[in-house]
Structure 1
């Protein structure tokens, strides 16, 4: 049960976004740019970064929904996502993705935890400056989203498979479309 009355029973971040739609709009716009806009990282790879950071932060709702989003958009599906979230060093992801997940993990610890060595390793693995930038911003944004969800004590869905239809809806309509009912 959420710490405050949100006036709705929606799970995870959806509840607070329905409670304050005026803050939901810019947050959804940001996440649409970060996770859905044209980019050299696939949508699945960017969702994986979001899921990984959320899992590191123990945010059940965000880890589950973004894990489902990544699984729907990556060739290895849920198994690939689970591997990457548990141990990206041996997961079936590219060396570039491994290096970017390492940067994301450092961002999750704190901005100053990001090392020049991790950035150099990402460059060496083929990551562009834009991909590194976006990885840092995705990781930082999801630390905020995770704290928003868990700081208000929102509820998660009971089963991992409950997230799949929501993931499919977001893939179709965008993040803002889930809250507003109109595609973003």
Structure 2
């Protein structure tokens, strides 16, 4: 049960954003920009970063939603997303993605631990400055989103099918409220 009154029993961040629509709109716009706008990272890769950071932060709602979104964006490959969450060093991802996940993991913990060497490894694996930038910004933003959801005890469904539906909708429709049904 959320720590604040929400207008309707909508799960996760959507329920919380409904309590403050103006800031909710801005947060939705930020998510849309980070995860859907032009980037050298695919939607699937950006969702994977969001899922990984949310997993590291232990935020069940965001982990479930973005794990499903990443899996749907990767053509239904839940095993890939779960392998990254277990251990990005052994997951079946490109060296570029592995290097970017290392950076994202450091941003999630103590961002000052990201080193020039981490960035050099990402560049050597094919990441450009924009990919590094987008990785850091997605990781930082998802730390904020995770803390928002956890700090206000957002409604967190237990049924994995709920998250599968949320993920499918996010991939199909994006993050702006008018483009999605209110129940998701």
Please give the root-mean-square deviation of Cα atoms over the aligned residues, in Å. Answer: 1.7
- The answer to whether the 8 Å contact 1:44/1:73 transfers is yes
Unaligned 5+ runs, structure 1: none
Q: Is the 8 A contact 2:4 2:152 kept in 1?
A: yes
Is the CA contact 1:170–1:178 (under 8 Å) kept in the aligned structure 2? no
Q: Say whether residues 1:168 and 2:176 are aligned partners.
A: no
TM (norm. structure 2) is 0.93
Distance (whole Å) between structure 1 residues aligned to residue 181 and residue 72 of structure 2 = 21
Q: Distance in 2 between matches of 1:60 and 1:171?
A: 19
Q: TM-score, normalised by structure 1?
A: 0.93
For residue 155 of structure 1, what is the aligned residue in structure 2?
Answer: 155
Report matched runs for 1:1-184 at 5 Å.
1-75=1-75, 77-177=77-177, 181=181
Shift in Å, 1:173: 2.1
CA gap of 1:168–1:136, structure 2 versus 1, over 3 A, is same
CA contact (8 A) 1:170 1:177 kept: no
Higher RCO by CA contacts (8 Å cutoff, separation 6 or greater): 2
Unaligned runs of 5+ in 2: none
